[in-house]
Amino acid sequence: MLTKIVAFAVTLGVLVVFHELGHYLVARLAGVKVLRFSVGFGGIVWSRSFGRDRTEWALSWIPLGGYVKMADEREAPVAAGDLSRAFNRQPLWKRMAIVAAGPIANLLLAVVLFTATYAAGIPGEKAVLSDPPAASAEAAADVRGGDRVVAVDGEPVGSFQELRWRIVRAQGHDDVTLSIVRDETTAPITRELSLAAMTTSDWDADPLAMLGLRVDLGPPLVDQVLPDTPAARAGLQSGDRIIAIDGNDMHSPSDVASYTHAHPGATLAYTIARGTTTRDVPVTVDAVDQNGRRVGQAGVRLRADPQAALRNAVVVRYGLGEALVQGARKTWELSAFTVRMLGRIATGDASLRNISGPITMADIAGQSAQAGPLVFLSYLALISISLGVLNLLPVPLLDGGHLLYYLAELIKGSPVSDRALEVGQRIGMAMLFMLMALALFNDVSRLF
C-alpha cells in the first residue's frame, strides 16, 4: 500500500509540476507577471518568494492539481506599473500560447520519458506465436505456431508487446495485415487478420487472446494459490505446471487466464505436472463480474517457465537519435489513440469502464513502480499524455475551454462576454463533476 501511495504521489507531483511549468515559462517569456506558482489547491501549507517579481512558490492542501496565478485585472486590481504585464492586456496569440503551454509540456515530457526508455532498452518477448485455437481469427488467417510477426500494417514490430499495441491501436478497423516470417531463410509473407468479430467487451478484456494471438512460453507454473478459492479447494499447489485445460495445450500464463475467463462457473479439467507425475484435476471456477463482463476465476497467480522466458526474451533498444524519433512517434500515436477512444466512448462504441480515477491510477502506479524503473517511466509517460490530451478538450475550466474562448474572440473580433464565461464555467463544472463521479464509480466497482 505504501508503495502505491508513494508512486501515485510521485506521478501526480511530476505531472502537475511539468504542466504548470509550461504555463509559467511561457508566461515569463511573454512578459506576463507571475504572482504565484502552486502545487495543489486550497489553503497554502508552505510558500517562499523568489526572483525580481517576488513570485510565490507554494504547496497547497489539496494535491490534485496546481495553478499559476498571473497579474490579471479580471481577478484583482493590478498596480499601474504592472498594467502592461497583466495577462488580460496581452495580445491574443500570447494568451493562447500561455494557455496551450501546459498541455504541450505534458506531451513533451512524454517524448522525453519514452526516449529514455527506448535508449535504455525495453525488455519484452519475441513476437513468436504459438499454435492458434482452431476457431480463432489467427487460425482463419493461416497464421501458424512458430510464425514470427515482424510488422502490422507495415509498421515494424520488435516484440510481442509492440504487436499488442499495434493490434489495440487498430480497434475499430475491420482487419489488419500481419507480416510474418515463417522460415528465416525466406522473405516475410503477409496474412489478413480479421477484427470484424471483436466486440467492445473483447477489446476491454484481452484482445490478442480473443484473436488467438499467443506467445509460446511453454506450460506456465503456479506461483501462488490464493486461499479459499477454487484452485485451493481443488488441491493445486505452488510449483505445479499447468500443461493443458480440457485437453487444450497451455503455452503461457495468459492462455490459462483466457481459457478460465471464458468459462465462468464451469468445471474445467486442469492437466498438471507435479514432480514426475501428471494428473487431471477438476477445478470448478468462480463466476465474477469484471468490467461489466462475466468471467471465470480459479484463484491462482502464474508465472512463465523461467527457461522458456529466457529463450524468448528480447530487448528493444535504439541509439539516442532513433530513440528520440521513436519516443515522439509513440507520443503522437498514443495521443491520437486517446482522442479516438474518447470519441468512441462518447458515441457508445467503447465502454465507459475505460474511464479510470485516482484509485486505479494509484494501483497501477504502484504495480509499475514494483515492476522496475523503465515500466514506471512508461506509465508516467502514458499518464502525462492523458493529462495533456484531456486538458486540450474544449471543456470550460480546462485549458482547451480557454482556447475555445480565444478562438471565438479571434473570429468575432472581441472577447467573449462575462455572461458567456459564467455559463461556460457552470457547464464545465458539471461536466467535470460527472466525469469524476463516473471515474470513482468505476474505481470502486473494480475493487468490489
State the cell numbers at 204.
Answer: 476491454
Q: How far is 417 from 421, CA to CA, in rounded Å?
A: 6
C-alpha dihedral sign at 273, 277, 278, 282: negative
According to DSSP, residue 129 is labeled B
Q: How far apart are CA 270 and CA 272, in angstroms?
A: 6
Strand 277-284 and strand 248-249: the pairing is unpaired
Q: Give the residue from 202, 237, 132 showing the smallest Cα distance to 349.
A: 202
Q: Assign 3-class secondary structure to 96-120.
A: HHHHHHHHHHHHHHHHHHHHHHHHH
The residue from 20, 125, 138, 162 that is catalytic is 20
* CA 12 from centroid of its chain's CA atoms: 15
Q: What are the grid coordinates assigned to 320, written together?
A: 539516442
Tell me which amino acid residue 336 is. A
How far apart, in whole angstroms, are the C-alpha atoms of residue 166 and residue 160? 10
**Phi, psi angle pair for 158, to nearest 5°:** -105, -10
Cα–Cα nearest to 138, from 219, 197, 212: 212
Sheet arrangement for strand 148-152 = 155-156, 148-152, 175-181, 189-194
Q: What are phi and psi of 11, to 5 degrees?
A: -60, -50
* Rounded Cα distance, 99 and 31, in Å: 14
Query: Is 20 in the active site?
Result: yes
Q: Cα–Cα distance between 63 and 69 in angstroms, integer?
A: 17
- Residue 152: exposure state from Cβ atoms within 10 A (0-12, 13-18, ≥19): buried
Q: Give the count of alpha carbons within 13 A of 420, CB side only.
A: 11
In one letter, which amino acid is 21?
Answer: L
- Cα separation, 434 vs 395, in Å, equals 13
By annotation, the residues acting in catalysis are: 20
